[in-house]
């Protein structure tokens, strides 16, 4: 099995996951669709050596600094040039992964002040560690070399509020809400500030689920090649605070 920088190679990982050439073909074709004809003719060559993964502590510091720039209204908007667009059309090496809520007010690249190819972002209502979310993060960590996962919850999360109320929900909305309820029940008896405490409890619960439900992620943590932390985003200030380490 091929490896890069101590991680399972992308092609080998896709074969193991049962994705095979379909995912690779889709990635390749989508990259071309975003490029004008002139850019296609002048595509940069694939780097001879792949970059080393960014250590978890360094990756976390980058995110913290980026969020502070966002809060201070001093965004640098890095890695958003046409050159970066062309570079990332050939390959991606995100330095961190985010499991965030699908809420339109919490776009990870903006609130962390990052650019193209910097973050591997999985977004689902309630930042739930569903099976598809876990699979996506396994790919980011094992195949792409991302050594940090941040589970990012936020204030006034509708999915968490729905789980607290526990009322019947239409369609498939109840599917992800059910995956939040265990966190609510665990925190309900000792919650002093219910809204805030339930958000934090859900982040902590989903963080635990990532580790407990994935042998791949747990193995990388044991090898010192992955760190998973939980954080909470304040909608009013834009500030992100760690709630687990």
SS3 119: strand
Q: How does residue 8 score in pLDDT terms, banded at 50, 70 and 90?
A: low
* Between residues 8 and 52, the one the model is more confident about: 52
pLDDT at 45 (0 to 100)? 52
Segment among 10-24, 76-90, 229-243 with least mean pLDDT: 10-24
How many C-beta atoms lie closer than 10 Å to residue 167's C-beta?
Answer: 9
pLDDT tens-digit series, residues 94-107: 999 999 999 999 99
pTM of the model: 0.82
Q: What is the mean pLDDT of residues 89-93?
A: 96
Residue 54 CB partners (closer than 8 Å, separation 6+):
62, 95, 96, 147, 148
Please, what are the domains in the chain?
3-242 (3.40.1050.10)
Segment among 138-142, 176-180, 191-195 with least mean pLDDT: 191-195
* Residue showing tokens 């390749």: 28
The helix (run of H) or strand (run of E) holding residue 198 is helix 194-213
Asked if pLDDT for residue 147 goes beyond 90, the answer is yes
The helix (run of H) or strand (run of E) holding residue 163 is helix 158-165
Segment among 36-40, 44-48, 163-167 with least mean pLDDT: 36-40
DSSP lists the bridge partners of residue 96 as 119
Asked if pLDDT for residue 19 goes beyond 50, the answer is no
Please give the mean pLDDT across all residues of the chain: 86
Q: How does residue 35 score in pLDDT terms, banded at 50, 70 and 90?
A: very low
Asked if pLDDT for residue 12 goes beyond 60, the answer is no
Q: How does residue 30 score in pLDDT terms, banded at 50, 70 and 90?
A: very low
Q: How does residue 120 score in pLDDT terms, banded at 50, 70 and 90?
A: very high
Q: What is the mean pLDDT of residues 49-64?
A: 94
pLDDT at 18 (0 to 100)? 46
- Please, are residues 142 and 216 in contact by the beta-carbon 8 Å criterion? yes
pLDDT at 50 (0 to 100)? 81
Q: How does residue 190 score in pLDDT terms, banded at 50, 70 and 90?
A: confident
Q: What distance in Å separates the CA atoms of residue 233 and residue 240, rounded to the nearest whole number? A: 4
Q: Angle at Cα 45 formed by Cα 40 and Cα 49, nearest 5°? A: 150
């Amino acid at each position: 099995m091929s490896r890069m920088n101590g991680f399972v190679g992308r092609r080998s990982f896709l074969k193991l996951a049962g994705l095979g050439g379909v995912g690779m073909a889709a990635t390749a074709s989508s990259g071309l669709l975003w490029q004008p004809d002139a850019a296609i003719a002048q595509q940069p060559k694939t780097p001879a050596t792949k970059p080393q993964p960014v250590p978890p502590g360094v990756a976390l510091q980058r995110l913290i600094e980026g969020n502070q720039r966002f809060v201070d209204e001093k965004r640098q908007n890095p890695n958003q040039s046409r050159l970066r667009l062309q570079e990332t059309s050939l390959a991606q090496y995100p330095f961190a992964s985010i499991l965030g809520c699908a809420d339109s007010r919490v776009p990870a690249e903006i609130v962390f002040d990052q650019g193209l190819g910097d973050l591997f972002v999985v977004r689902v209502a309630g930042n739930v560690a569903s099976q598809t979310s876990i699979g996506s993060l396994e790919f980011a960590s094992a195949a792409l070399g991302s050594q940090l996962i941040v589970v990012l919850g936020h204030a006034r999360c509708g999915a968490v509020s729905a789980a607290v109320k526990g009322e019947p929900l239409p369609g498939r909305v109840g599917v992800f809400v059910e995956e939040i309820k265990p966190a609510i029940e665990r925190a309900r008896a000792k919650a002093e500030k219910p809204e805030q405490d339930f958000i934090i409890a859900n982040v902590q619960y989903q963080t635990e689920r990532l580790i407990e439900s994935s042998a791949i992620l747990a193995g990388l943590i044991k090898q010192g090649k992955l760190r998973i932390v939980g954080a909470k985003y304040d909608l009013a200030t834009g500030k992100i605070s760690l709630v687990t380490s």
